[in-house]
């Protein structure tokens, strides 16, 4: 089926577009009253994730409200550890937690590599359902957490401020961490390729906690494994390329090395000026980002000013997917998100006036 709007995919491949495409990290989330209502029907977050029909419903909710250029699978970055038997759950108002926690070599060795069409079948069924219901309107993004990020949660038991458990192991028994990262890398490759086979048209790897590492440790424990994943992914399906985006939060120090992995796009958080990022790597890869989500708490005028500043920073031409520098927060007024999206769509056309589009999306 031919896509009616493929701006997002074309921008990631640095092909001409008529305006800068936009989607938002965590665009299906608690800031939307319709999402909260559906989550209440499901009962809890994981029940919502594991119900393909409801996962499809919340994936499509932001697209019904806003003219976004991509849908992203509604799921969680920690589905792989859950499928390994870790027991993922979310307490009310809390972050992710595991009923089990890794502590030593034997715990790691006993972990299975999950079959994405068995233990993670609910995710693949959601991808297939969403792709069918999208009916070619916009592309569908699949995703996974990075091996390093998954490993931090598995050893810490949840979120952490210091990451002391996994870092202690890194500096005392590094081989244990590498065995886990190897298993997770294999699992992520299988998982993302299964999402692509089920209908995902682009994939993204969220390296949420890569930025807590030293430069040397980032290369050894995070980047090298993401590079293996990029090398192992299906890069062509449905008659067109399947772009891959890597996002390391607080990863501005390592942009050149991230771009050298072979990925198509690099996600940026708000701690780096997109002008500088384009000067460093924008001739090699597309850039995604990078407005501070907190600006959506500001006035409409302030939101529009920031959109204009980021568009000015990137400059003319394709290769920019507008997004937030991290996920939209639950306290954002949906009307403010609408202001943001409308500003990107209306302001960005002037940055693409000298490009020729092979096919009109409108």
- pLDDT tens digit sequence for 275-295: 999 999 999 999 999 999 999
Q: Which pLDDT belongs to residue 5? A: 97
Q: Which pLDDT belongs to residue 358? A: 45
Is 128 annotated as catalytic? no
241 lies in a domain?
yes
Contact 42, 48 (CB under 8 A): yes
Give the Cα separation of 24 and 43 in Å (integer).
Answer: 25
354 lies in a domain?
no
255 lies in a domain?
yes
Q: Quick count: other Cβ atoms within 10 Å of Cβ 26?
A: 17
| pLDDT(44) > 50 | yes
What's 22's DSSP letter? B
| pLDDT(19) > 70 | yes
40 lies in a domain?
yes
153 annotated to bind ligand? yes
Give the chain's mean pLDDT. 95
Task: Determine the Cα angle at 103 with ends 145 and 113, to 5°.
Answer: 45
| pLDDT(333) > 50 | yes
The active-site residue, picked from 6, 18, 76, 269, is: 76
The active-site residue, picked from 10, 39, 97, 131, is: 39
Q: Which pLDDT belongs to residue 357? A: 52
Is 153 annotated as catalytic? yes
User: Range with the lowest mean pLDDT among 156-160, 305-309, 325-329?
Assistant: 156-160
Predicted confidence (pLDDT) per residue in 108-146, tens digit: 999 999 999 999 999 999 999 999 999 999 999 999 999
The owner of tokens 């290369």 is 219
Question: What CATH number has the domain bearing residue 170?
Answer: 3.20.20.210
Residues across the chain: 362
User: Range with the lowest mean pLDDT among 7-21, 88-102, 151-165?
Assistant: 88-102
122 lies in a domain?
yes
Contact 243, 12 (CB under 8 A): yes
The active-site residue, picked from 66, 153, 218, 351, is: 153
74 lies in a domain?
yes
Predicted confidence (pLDDT) per residue in 167-186, tens digit: 999 999 999 999 999 999 99
16 lies in a domain?
no
276 annotated to bind ligand? no
Q: Which pLDDT belongs to residue 360? A: 42
Phi, psi of 358 (to 5 degrees): -70, -40
Give the Cα separation of 52 and 125 in Å (integer).
Answer: 6
Q: What percent of the chain has pLDDT over 90?
A: 92
Q: Which pLDDT belongs to residue 359? A: 44
- The two three-digit tokens of residue 23, written as one number: 């989607």
The active-site residue, picked from 30, 128, 219, 235, is: 30
Provide the pLDDT confidence category of residue 95 given band limits of 50, 70 and 90: confident
| pLDDT(93) > 70 | no
Q: Which pLDDT belongs to residue 361? A: 43
Domain housing 137: 23-265
326 lies in a domain?
no
- Cis geometry, peptide bond prior to residue 290 (ω within 30 degrees of 0): yes
Domain count, the chain: 1
Q: Quick count: other Cβ atoms within 10 Å of Cβ 219?
A: 14
Mean pLDDT of 197-219: 97
Q: Quick count: other Cβ atoms within 10 Å of Cβ 104?
A: 11
Q: Which pLDDT belongs to residue 4? A: 95
Mean pLDDT of 84-107: 87
29 annotated to bind ligand? yes
pTM for this prediction? 0.95
Provide the pLDDT confidence category of residue 90 given band limits of 50, 70 and 90: confident
Q: Quick count: other Cβ atoms within 10 Å of Cβ 153?
A: 26
| pLDDT(250) > 80 | yes
Mean pLDDT of 93-102: 84
Is 218 annotated as catalytic? no
Give the Cα separation of 160 and 155 in Å (integer).
Answer: 10
Cα four-point dihedral sign 81, 86, 90, 94: negative
| pLDDT(355) > 90 | no
Contact 229, 223 (CB under 8 A): no
């Amino acid at each position: 089926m031919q896509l009616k709007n493929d701006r997002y995919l074309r921008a990631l491949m640095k092909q001409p577009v008529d305006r800068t495409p936009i989607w938002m990290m965590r665009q299906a989330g608690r800031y939307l009253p319709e999402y909260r209502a559906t989550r209440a029907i499901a009962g809890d977050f994981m029940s919502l994730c594991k119900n393909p029909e409801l996962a499809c419903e919340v994936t499509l909710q932001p697209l019904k409200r806003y003219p976004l250029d991509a849908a992203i699978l509604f799921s969680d970055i920690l589905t792989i550890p859950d499928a390994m038997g870790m027991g993922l759950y979310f307490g009310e108002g809390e972050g992710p937690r595991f009923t089990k926690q890794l502590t030593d070599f034997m715990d790691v060795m006993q972990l299975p590599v999950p079959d994405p069409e068995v233990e993670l079948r609910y995710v693949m069924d959601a991808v297939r359902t969403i792709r069918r219901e999208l009916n070619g309107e916009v592309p569908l993004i699949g995703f996974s957490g990075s091996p390093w990020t998954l490993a931090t949660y598995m050893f810490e038991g949840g979120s952490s401020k210091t990451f002391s458990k996994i870092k202690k192991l890194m500096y005392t028994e590094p081989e244990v961490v590498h065995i886990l990262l190897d298993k997770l890398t294999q699992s992520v490759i299988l998982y993302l390729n299964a999402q692509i086979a089920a209908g995902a048209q682009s994939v993204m790897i969220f390296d949420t906690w890569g930025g807590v590492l030293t430069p040397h440790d980032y290369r050894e424990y995070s980047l090298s494994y993401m590079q293996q994943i990029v090398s192992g992914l299906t890069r062509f399906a449905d008659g067109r390329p399947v772009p891959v985006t890597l996002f390391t939060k607080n990863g501005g120090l390592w942009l050149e090395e991230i771009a050298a992995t072979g990925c198509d796009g690099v996600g940026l958080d708000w701690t780096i000026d997109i002008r500088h990022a384009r000067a460093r790597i924008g001739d090699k890869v597309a850039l995604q980002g990078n407005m501070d989500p907190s600006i959506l708490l500001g006035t409409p005028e302030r939101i529009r000013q920031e959109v204009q500043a980021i568009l000015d920073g990137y400059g003319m031409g394709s290769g920019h997917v507008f997004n937030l520098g991290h996920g939209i927060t639950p306290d954002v007024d949906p009307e403010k998100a609408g202001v943001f999206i409308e500003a990107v769509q209306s302001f960005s056309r002037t940055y693409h006036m000298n490009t020729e589009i092979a096919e009109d999306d409108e």
